[in-house]
Chains A and B, each alone.
Chain A
Amino acid sequence: MAIKKLLFASLLICSMIQSSHGATKERLFTDLEKGSLEITATPSRTGEGVVLAAGIDKLSITWKVSSTATKEPEFKTIKVKLCYAPVSQVDRPWRKTHNELFKDKSCPHKISSFSYDPTVKTAQSFDYTLERDIPTGTYYVRAYAVDAIDHEVAFGQSTNEAKTTNLFSVQAISGRHKSLDIASVCFSVFSVVALVVFFVNEKRKAKIEQSK
């Protein structure tokens, strides 16, 4: 029966997907070393009530390894991410903060990822232009230090622990386009006009036939 085949196929596929998740299940955020990385994110435009425009404005991100870092020898890669501030997580469970790292949804946007050079001890910085698929919201920046087996070992963030300071707001692109609007109107008009034309035509033909 079709349903048996469907069930079997989906079970097979999904057990394969399932097994790939196994390795990262139990690692917790609270296990990571806090404050190992000192990171600051300066928006290109600052001020009271300034909202950055996605796709246009930049962040200047400066980071360095803190003197208090103990796991520094394990660092292999630094992953910098854009994270949602608590105010942008309200009534949006798909952005929720979870302690299990693999479940945590609060930092979905990748800014940059580069290998860690232990010889450079001074602060390094780079620029990041806000991507065009960043949603409207309030953000901060967090950097994870990742070891050789791709497990996070330490992190640092541009805001305080309560995530209340140094936040910046971003306004997303609207996604609308004039050409899209015009196309939409054209096709709508075509649809209505085609219907009316058919209708009128047929009524006319019926009248002609009746009068015959």
Chain B
Amino acid sequence: KPERAKSKGLRRNKTHVLSQEERVFFSRLLGTIMAHHNEDEGSIGTSMHGVTAREQVFSFSVQGEDDGPSSHTVRFDDPTAKFALPVDSEHRATAFKPFSFAKPHMRAFHLGWISFFTCFISTFAAAPLVPIIRDNLDLTKSDIGKAGVASVSGAIFSRLAMGAVCDLLGARYGTAFLLMLSAPTVFSISFVSDAGGYLSVRFMIGFCLATFVSCQYWTSVMFNGKIIGLVNGCAGGWGDMGGGVTQLLMPMVFHVIKLAGATPFTAWRIAFFIPGFLQVIMGILVLTLGQDLPDGNLSTLQKRGEVSKDKFTKVFWYAVLNYRTYVLFLLYGFSMGIEMTINNVISEYFFDRFQLELHTAGMIAASFGMANFFARPLGGYASDISARFFGMRGRLWTLWILQTSGGIFCVWLGRATSLPIAILSMMLFSVGVQAACGAIFGIVPFVSRRSLGLISGLTGAGGNFGSGLTQLIFFSSSRFHTADGLSLMGIMGMIFTLLVAFIHFPQWGSMFFGPTSDEKKSKEEHYYAAEWTEEEKRQGLHEGSLKFAENCRSERGRKAASDGSSPSTPPENGNPAHV
């Protein structure tokens, strides 16, 4: 009898042992509820299965384990399943071993983040070579700026569509489709002969940034909810590093091709074949080595049970009604958005302003993007630590401090006239702004439970939007010197970061105000249950939200412990989903 209970994820240590009838009854009830709750993130059109920080838990009180079922029901009763990592009842890994390539979990993790990394390389591959490209194609500053805007705009839409694609085809094909269908766009750079062609190709290449979604989707079906925050944070941060590595890789490749005898205006075109090859190779690796789900591939598994998905219109409605969605959209636009803008402009900036060699400028630009390796997880971690002491208020202040200091150092970077100071300010700026990205996703999971996937996706799209906007205003015309553009962008970022003060939770308060004194409204349950209509509540569809509400009482900070309310673990353990 203990084995049976354990395999369902229940611990006997606390309250009751279920009798046979109870077990049958509850597992049927569970079946329906599970199907509902995991579908709110996964249903076609909600776009963001896989961007969630946590999967939901069972409706009745269970101490400890968080076994979230995935949207694709799998066989739990396979006795011969042998995995290299410890797994839960869904065969999702409960441990994260970054140095392992074991099938299927760690392999999926590595294939996922490397695919995302490769797409970042392709999207920003042109940036360090702009000094050569602008001479070849006779580009003006506005041409270069517009192409930069185009390179990040495509992903706004492709990211929103990607969740649906992954639902239909599975993470493997979602990733492979994106990689292998956008590889031709990378190769087509050899046909470009003017500003219009350059802009179109950069726009088309930019679509592949949606691999972020497929990567996070894949890790979410492979890893247990307890560690998904850390796993997604690493995948997101290490993928973002691609924007830095490309600044180093492309000038090096260009230089080698020139040494081999090609003239510069041909060499840069040949250099683009490298990201193209990487994409094709990764696509093939994903298809041959990867696996959609812990138990096998989507097409060879039988789907069991009815999977009724949450209505997209409802999920959309509650996301749109929640004002915090818009605040986060803008905030992320001035953290991730600024980061992507810098990926596009910083190499050219150092090349022109300090008269450096192409590969030296590339090296400096690369260190901006590579700081992501630790800076992003650091931000998420700082958010979690501050929440331990000060609850949600701590998270908000952490975000504000990180993003504002990022803005300050951005202003300093624009003002710097000597190279050492410029590099110093750039490094501090990179840590500030990238940690802010991590901190934002420390808050996103709490904004909504029902519409979490969509809000995460919208926040991510906000990053691309912010990048397009800042490039359009500050770096597309001769109105501002690039240095002034940087400083003004920093100031604009600091102004928008003030919006953090407007994020208010009735149950936890905000930066300056405490939680509401209203007895009913100050409960977490009230906030999360408000996303369900009475009819839905009667059907019990909101059970997952209630469980979540119970779990996030720790967002009250130290008071939660002294309140004597349930000392449950906070929903994130480490860093939540990163975009």
Contacts and interface: CB of A to CB of B under 8 A. Distances in A.
Interface of A: 2-3, 6-7, 10-11, 14-15, 17-18, 21, 90-94, 102, 105, 132-133, 135-137, 172-177, 180-181, 183-185, 187-188, 190-192, 194-195, 198-199, 202-203, 205-206, 209
Interface string B159-191: 000000000000001001100110110011011
B176 A195 contact: yes
Given A3-B374, A191-B283, A10 B135 contact: no
A90 B139 CA distance: 11
A198 B287 contact: yes
Contact of B273 (A2, A10, A183): A183
Contact of B183 (A132, A177, A181, A187): A187
B131 interface: yes
B283 A176 contact: no
B374 A194 contact: no
B566 interface: no
Interface string B97-126: 000000000000000000000000000000
Chain B facing A: main interface SS: helix
B431 A3 contact: yes
B297 A202 contact: yes
B231 to A, nearest CB: 21
Contact of A191 (B264, B269, B280, B418): B280
Contacts of A105: 352
Contact of B184 (A17, A174, A180, A191): A191
A2 B273 CA distance: 32
Contacts of A199: 173
Contacts of B136: 135, 172, 174-175
A11 B478 contact: no
Interface stretch (B60-68, B419-427, B497-505, B526-534): B419-427
Contacts of B374: 2-3
Contacts of A133: 135, 263-265
Contacts of A91: 140-142, 478
Nearest to A171: B138
A185 B187 CA distance: 8
B300 interface: yes
B266 to A, nearest CB: 5
In the A-B complex, the 10 residue pairs with the smallest Cβ-Cβ separation, listed nearest first, are A175-B265, A188-B184, A135-B135, A206-B299, A91-B140, A184-B187, A195-B180, A14-B420, A191-B183, A136-B138
A75 to B, nearest CB: 26
Given A136-B138, A184-B190, A18 B420 contact: yes
B187 to A, nearest CB: 4
Most chain A C-beta atoms within 10 Å of own C-beta, residue among B136, B142, B265, B348:
B265
A137 B352 CA distance: 19
Contacts of A10: 364, 367, 420, 423-424, 427
A174 B265 contact: yes
Contacts of B269: 175-176, 180
Contacts of A136: 138
Contacts of A137: 138
B177 A195 contact: yes
A194 B180 CA distance: 8
Most chain B C-beta atoms within 10 Å of own C-beta, residue among A2, A181, A183, A184:
A184
B188 A188 contact: yes
B419 A93 contact: no
B481 interface: yes
Most chain B C-beta atoms within 10 Å of own C-beta, residue among A18, A175, A199:
A175
A10 B424 CA distance: 8
19 contacts: A2-B374, A11-B424, A17-B360, A93-B141, A93-B478, A94-B134, A174-B265, A175-B136, A177-B266, A180-B190, A180-B266, A180-B270, A184-B191, A188-B188, A191-B283, A192-B184, A194-B280, A199-B173, A206-B300
A31 B173 CA distance: 66
Contacts of B420: 10-11, 14-15, 18
Nearest to B287: A198
B187 A194 contact: no
Given A3-B374, A11-B420, A195-B283, 6 more contacts: A14-B423, A92-B134, A94-B352, A102-B355, A191-B280, A199-B173
